[in-house]
Structure 1
Amino acid sequence: MTEAVTEQETAVEEPEQAPPADPSLHQPKRWLIAAGELVAVVLLVVLAVWCWNRGVVRLEYPFEGREPLVSTRYHGNWLGSAVLAATLAVVLALDAVRQIMLAVRTRPQEAADSDM
């Protein structure tokens, strides 16, 4: 019996080189993102104040010959919405500060290449 000898070519594929990535952290366009977030923060604070004012209702019951009885009624759905809007405003404000810090630290490409 004859045995057939087969040659197997071992082809090692080289991984494709990824295209050079642009700097993802230091981008000047982050100023626009921060400005948009600050506008959203202002709108959320206004929304939170409006919701809070709708959630607290003061009632007065008049009596003859005495001062009126004043009571306060709290609506939980409005107060919860106010707390949610304020929390979102704080989170967006923190992210806006982060975006501003990354935009300020932007370096020209020549200076970034010379550090290597």
Structure 2
Amino acid sequence: MTAEADLAAPEQPVRGGLNQPRRAIAGAAEIVVTGALVWLAFWLWSKSGVTVTQSFDDGRPPYVSHRLYGHWMALSILSATVAGILLVDAIRQFILAVQARPGGKGRRRK
């Protein structure tokens, strides 16, 4: 009896497959977070620079200088970078959600 069981074809492991429609929900959530991060990046960038104007009483033109805050710029760049990575992953999620199902009609190998 055990010899027959050993000769039987081994069972193939059951795989979940990459085609899962719930991936579209994850992709949509990532798109929403990407939009929020892009808005945050622009908001942070606008906070990174300050214009300082100094006027003089003796008739000279005012002295205008611009001060840039590096931590606001760094956070803005970080936010935009994370948004870009999430956008690429969202595209991947959508592609995997709509990918052709195994065993469906598609190209056949010759």
Q: TM-score, normalised by structure 2?
A: 0.76
Look up the match of 2:44: 51
Where in structure 2 are there 5+ consecutive unaligned residues? 1-5
Q: TM-score, normalised by structure 1?
A: 0.72
What displacement does 1:47 show? 1.0
**RMSD between aligned residues:** 2.6
Give the secondary-structure state (helix, strand or coil) at the position aligned to 1:83: helix
Higher mean C-alpha deviation, range 55-64 or range 38-47:
55-64
Instruction: Say whether residues 1:62 and 2:55 are aligned partners.
Output: yes
Give the secondary-structure state (helix, strand or coil) at the position aligned to 2:55: strand
Instruction: Say whether residues 1:87 and 2:81 are aligned partners.
Output: yes
The one of 25, 34, 53 equivalent to 1:32 is 25
Q: Percent sequence identity over matched residues?
A: 38
Give the secondary-structure state (helix, strand or coil) at the position aligned to 2:16: coil
What displacement does 1:110 show? 4.9
What displacement does 1:58 show? 1.0
CA contact (8 A) 1:28 1:106 kept: no
Aligned equivalents of 1:74 and 1:89: distance in 2? 23
Pairwise mapping of residues 101-112 of structure 1 onto structure 2 (< 5 A)?
101-107=95-101, 110-111=103-104
CA contact (8 A) 1:27 1:106 kept: no
What displacement does 1:100 show? 1.1
Aligned equivalents of 1:102 and 1:21: distance in 2? 15
Where in structure 1 are there 5+ consecutive unaligned residues? 1-13
Give the secondary-structure state (helix, strand or coil) at the position aligned to 1:58: strand
Give the secondary-structure state (helix, strand or coil) at the position aligned to 1:63: coil
Give the secondary-structure state (helix, strand or coil) at the position aligned to 1:70: strand
